[in-house]
Amino acid sequence: MELSPLAIGALRPLPVAPSRIPAGFPSPAEQYQHDTLDLNELVVRHPAATFYAWAEGDSMELAGIFAGDLLVIDKSEEPRHGDVVIAAINGELACKRLNLNAQQLESNSHVSYKPMPCTPDVGIEGVVISSVRMHR
């Protein structure tokens, strides 16, 4: 699978509401837009090393990653214990949590999936920096 970096300037700045929006009852907060936000600036630290991928399956639901989510992956970040990573396992890509103490890749799901040992043929392709969930 060919992974290409994020195109610089692929997104343009969009308006941002001046205050946070409650997910409960409506607030009488201002409804005016004061600023703009470029999602690249928010989620991309290293544009030349960043790529997107669509999540599939249910193995990372307890990590907040669901089928259909858009993952933002940085190939230049050094993977750390507990990071969600994209790993190449037998030529296939998988999204898993990195457990450096046990030297394995783990799922975060309500369903029991066996951990995968970090053997020499497993390659970490990047660290998941953030995800975007589509609601429609």
Cα(65)–Cα(85) distance, rounded to whole angstroms?
Answer: 12
Residue 59 is a catalytic residue: yes
Catalytic residue chosen out of the listed positions 19, 59, 75, 76: 59
Residue 96 is a catalytic residue: yes
User: Nearest to residue 115, comparing CAs of 101, 123, 104, 127?
Assistant: 104
Catalytic residue chosen out of the listed positions 27, 76, 96, 112: 96
| 3-state secondary structure at position 111 | coil
74 beta partners: 50, 127
Task: Please identify every residue annotated as catalytic.
Answer: 59, 96
